[in-house]
Amino acid sequence: MKKIHIIGLGLLGGSFALALKKVFPDWEITGFDNDPEHMAMALEMGLISRKLEVPQEDTDAVILATPVDTLLGLLEKTLEQVGPNTLVMDFGSTKGQLCRQMATHPKRNQYLAVHPIAGTENSGPGAAAGNLFDGKVLIICEMEKTDIHLKGLAYDIFEAVNMKLRFMDPGDHDLHLAFVSHLSHVSSFVLGKTVLDKTKDEKNIFDMAGSGFASTVRLAKSSPAMWAPIFLENKENVLEAMDSYIEHLSQFRSMIAEGNVDGLNHEMLEANKIRDILDIKE
Amino acid sequence: MKKIHIIGLGLLGGSFALALKKVFPDWEITGFDNDPEHMAMALEMGLISRKLEVPQEDTDAVILATPVDTLLGLLEKTLEQVGPNTLVMDFGSTKGQLCRQMATHPKRNQYLAVHPIAGTENSGPGAAAGNLFDGKVLIICEMEKTDIHLKGLAYDIFEAVNMKLRFMDPGDHDLHLAFVSHLSHVSSFVLGKTVLDKTKDEKNIFDMAGSGFASTVRLAKSSPAMWAPIFLENKENVLEAMDSYIEHLSQFRSMIAEGNVDGLNHEMLEANKIRDILDIKE
């Protein structure tokens, strides 16, 4: 029997609690969320067995699943509260800044930096699903800095919930994520805002939107409280990705303006190659 | 018993043939596709009963479901080939230019301009599905210019396959579609190209892409042969939509660069309103 404590009982934290309960029914899963409504809902849904404001000293692992701008403070506080045999992990979507800030922390070897590539556009405990992590990739950064026994427990847990482990440098992680995740959130938020601004007084225009629009704009439903901190923590890479996107858009715009059919066809045929990549993933 | 002829047996034409067969099993549905492979596949799949290069003179309705840059020529040719009691409709995604070009055509009253808001990122007869049109919106432009009996047949057909009819000025159609459809195709094509360019030598970066990326980039799989003509036919409106999108992106970029959390939260909360609109549609 292990004791696991989860701080932040939203989509990720709540889903992870459900996944753990399924594979380890006898483990004790406690938790905390500083939004009283989410806290009450998490208890009511049975995501955790008990609310604890401070993790027990002999907790085996504490998971931090809160917005990235809260993680450093929470990590430092949690490492103070727990004993020497407790592992603390964060589920944050950016890893570079936190790993740098933790580099010289006296309890660095009790911390493991991970990022589960799992989520939906929904948030809060009500969006939690026990299969959210099933078959998904988990990125682990700087694993060599974590105590061998503590990271062993982490690997066992993630393999038990059927995640695929990948190891990566935090800087590479943040750069790549800017392109394959943060940029698509930007493009979707801004597409939603652009179209809403244009159609402000005539909402029935959305009658004319098909399933393609809904798919492209889906991420515009995502939580600002989660995403503003990600864009700012990963500012340098996100700006690089956005600049490249805006540059590509300007080129595409010129081709339309000039009636450059060959250029447009070439760009779109190149973009079509995304099909092979996504189909392999599916 | 009616005779229907469909030119262009791809996603839209093929799906419409299947939908007609389901509700009118005794009607004769003939067709043609100038891609020999698609023609053979359409016959093999039983989308149509017979290949006809020229519609029969007493065909009740001819449907043109080919790329928008081919429609004017095809429409003029078809109106020459058929008798005075045949209705000819096009399924094109832009309506302004074609309606203007047809304004003084001697057989204008045999033509009905329609646009079914239905489709997927796939193309060709293999992508056809009998339920593609079920419950979807059909936009009809300048219906007052079409003979009353001929358009009566059209309304009966579209209602039988369970479409929701909307009437609209072609200019309004093209402007609105630029924002709720053409722009999301541009944003998705260009997002796909931007990310592929960045990850050229390291395709395993897509391991780190979640379902959100797949959703945002789904339309990048769409057919260039269909979309280049749409962007060019609707150039003025598409450029207006793109300029507004690029302007919104630049503002969002500045907010990230300046660390303007309040501004970012405001933009994203506004974008979140797309949830209410899409949820009503679903």
Cα B74 to Cα A211, B30, B85, B140, B232, distances in angstroms: 28, 16, 18, 19, 18
B contact residues 238-267, partner A, Cβ 8 Å cutoff: 238-239, 241-246, 248-250, 252-253, 256-257, 259, 261, 264-265, 267
Does any CB of chain B come closer than 8 Å to the CB of residue A199? yes
Type of residue found at B266: H
Nearest to B212 among A195, A219, A278 (CB): A219
| Mutation site, A168, A199, A204, A211, interface B, largest B CB count within 10 A | A211
pLDDT at A202: 77
Asked if residues A32 and A39 have their Cβ atoms less than 8 Å apart, the reply is yes
Q: In angstroms, rounded to a whole number, what is the distance separating the alpha carbons of residues B116 and A270? A: 28
Band (pLDDT 50/70/90 cuts) for residue B281 is low
What CATH number has the domain spanning B3-168?
3.40.50.720
| Mutation site, A132, A208, A248, A273, interface B, largest B CB count within 10 A | A208
Question: Do the Cβ atoms of B186 and A259 come within 8 Å?
Answer: no
User: In degrees rounded to 5, what are phi and psi of residue A53?
Assistant: -75, -30
Q: Is the pLDDT of residue A281 over 70?
A: no
Looking at residue B71, the DSSP 8-state letter turns out to be: H
Angle at A181 between CA A180 and CA A186, to 5 degrees: 115
Closest CA to A202 of B11, B277, B35: B277
Band (pLDDT 50/70/90 cuts) for residue A280 is low
CB-CB neighbors (< 8 A) of A277 in chain B: 203, 206
Q: Is the pLDDT of residue B272 over 80?
A: yes
Closest CA to B49 of B27, B29, B34: B29
E-strand ranges in chain B read 3-7, 28-32, 50-51, 61-64, 87-90, 111-116, 137-141, 164-168
pLDDT at A16: 98
pLDDT in tens, B35-49: 999 999 999 999 999
pLDDT in tens, A65-112: 999 999 999 999 999 999 999 999 999 999 999 999 999 999 999 999
Q: In angstroms, rounded to a whole number, what is the distance separating the alpha carbons of residues B69 and A35? A: 56
- Across B90-102, average pLDDT: 97
| CB burial readout B63-95, b (16+ within 10 A) else e | bbbbbbbbbbebbeebbebbeeebbbbbbbbbb
Q: Is B153 helix (H, G, I), strand (E, B) or coil?
A: helix
Q: Is A104 helix (H, G, I), strand (E, B) or coil?
A: coil
Question: Do the Cβ atoms of B192 and A274 come within 8 Å?
Answer: yes
Q: In angstroms, rounded to a whole number, what is the distance separating the alpha carbons of residues A255 and A66? A: 43
pLDDT in tens, A122-169: 999 999 999 999 999 999 999 999 999 999 999 999 999 999 999 999
**Which H helix or E strand runs over A96?**
helix A96-102
Angstroms from A164 CA to nearest CA on chain B = 10
Q: What fold, for A173-281?
A: 6-phosphogluconate dehydrogenase C-terminal fold (1.10.3660)
Asked if residues B235 and A185 have their Cβ atoms less than 8 Å apart, the reply is no
Q: Which residue of chain A comes nearest to B219, CA vs CA? A: A212
Q: In angstroms, rounded to a whole number, what is the distance separating the alpha carbons of residues A27 and A90? A: 20
Asked if residues A114 and A217 have their Cβ atoms less than 8 Å apart, the reply is no
Q: Which residue of chain A comes nearest to B247, CA vs CA? A: A194
Q: What is the mean pLDDT of chain B?
A: 96
- Across B105-130, average pLDDT: 95
User: In degrees rounded to 5, what are phi and psi of residue B256?
Assistant: -65, -45
Could you tell me the sign of the dihedral formed by the alpha carbons of A133, A139, A145, A148, in that order? positive
Residue A78, burial from CB neighbour count under 10 angstroms (0-12, 13-18, 19+) = buried
Q: Is B30 helix (H, G, I), strand (E, B) or coil?
A: strand
Domain boundaries, chain B: 3-168, 173-281
pLDDT at B201: 76
Nearest to B193 among A120, A136, A248 (CB): A248
B contact residues 120-159, partner A, Cβ 8 Å cutoff: 120-121, 136-137, 139
Angstroms from A121 CA to nearest CA on chain B = 8
User: In degrees rounded to 5, what are phi and psi of residue B195?
Assistant: -70, -40
Question: Do the Cβ atoms of A215 and B220 come within 8 Å?
Answer: no
How many other β-carbons are positioned within 10 Å of the β-carbon of residue B129?
15
pLDDT at A244: 98
Per the listing, tokens 């395709």 go with: B203
Q: In angstroms, rounded to a whole number, what is the distance separating the alpha carbons of residues A18 and A24? A: 10
Whole-number percent of chain B with pLDDT over 90 = 93
**Which H helix or E strand runs over A139?**
strand A137-141
pLDDT in tens, B233-258: 999 999 999 999 999 999 999 999 99
Question: Do the Cβ atoms of B224 and A193 come within 8 Å?
Answer: no
CB-CB neighbors (< 8 A) of B252 in chain A: 186, 189-190, 242
Question: Do the Cβ atoms of A264 and B231 come within 8 Å?
Answer: yes
pLDDT at A204: 78
Does any CB of chain B come closer than 8 Å to the CB of residue A272? yes
Does any CB of chain B come closer than 8 Å to the CB of residue A160? no
pLDDT at B4: 98
| Mutation site, A123, A133, A187, interface B, largest B CB count within 10 A | A187
Q: Residue A252 corresponds to which tokens in the numbers above?
A: 């595409």
Asked if residues A46 and A161 have their Cβ atoms less than 8 Å apart, the reply is no
pLDDT in tens, A232-243: 999 999 999 999
Residue B230, burial from CB neighbour count under 10 angstroms (0-12, 13-18, 19+) = buried
User: In degrees rounded to 5, what are phi and psi of residue B8?
Assistant: 95, 100
Angle at A246 between CA A245 and CA A251, to 5 degrees: 100
Q: Is the pLDDT of residue A9 over 70?
A: yes
Band (pLDDT 50/70/90 cuts) for residue B280 is low
Looking at residue B1, the DSSP 8-state letter turns out to be: -
**What ipTM describes this predicted complex?**
0.93
Does any CB of chain A come closer than 8 Å to the CB of residue B212? yes
Asked if residues B44 and B69 have their Cβ atoms less than 8 Å apart, the reply is no
Closest CA to B164 of B211, B116, B216: B116
Asked if residues B271 and A190 have their Cβ atoms less than 8 Å apart, the reply is yes
| CB burial readout A110-141, b (16+ within 10 A) else e | bbbbbbbbbbbbebbbebbebebbeebbbbbb
Q: Considering just the CA atoms, what is the radius of gyration of chain A in Å?
A: 21
Residue A144, burial from CB neighbour count under 10 angstroms (0-12, 13-18, 19+) = exposed
Angstroms from A238 CA to nearest CA on chain B = 9
pLDDT in tens, B183-220: 999 999 999 999 999 988 777 788 889 899 999 999 99
Q: Which residue of chain A comes nearest to B69, CA vs CA? A: A261
Does any CB of chain B come closer than 8 Å to the CB of residue A228? yes
Edge-to-edge order in the sheet of strand B111-116: B50-51, B28-32, B3-7, B61-64, B87-90, B111-116, B137-141, B164-168
Question: Do the Cβ atoms of A212 and B235 come within 8 Å?
Answer: no
pLDDT at B205: 84
Does any CB of chain A come closer than 8 Å to the CB of residue B220? yes
Band (pLDDT 50/70/90 cuts) for residue B140 is very high
Residue B106, burial from CB neighbour count under 10 angstroms (0-12, 13-18, 19+) = exposed
Taking chain A, what is the end-to-end CA distance rounded to the nearest angstrom? 35
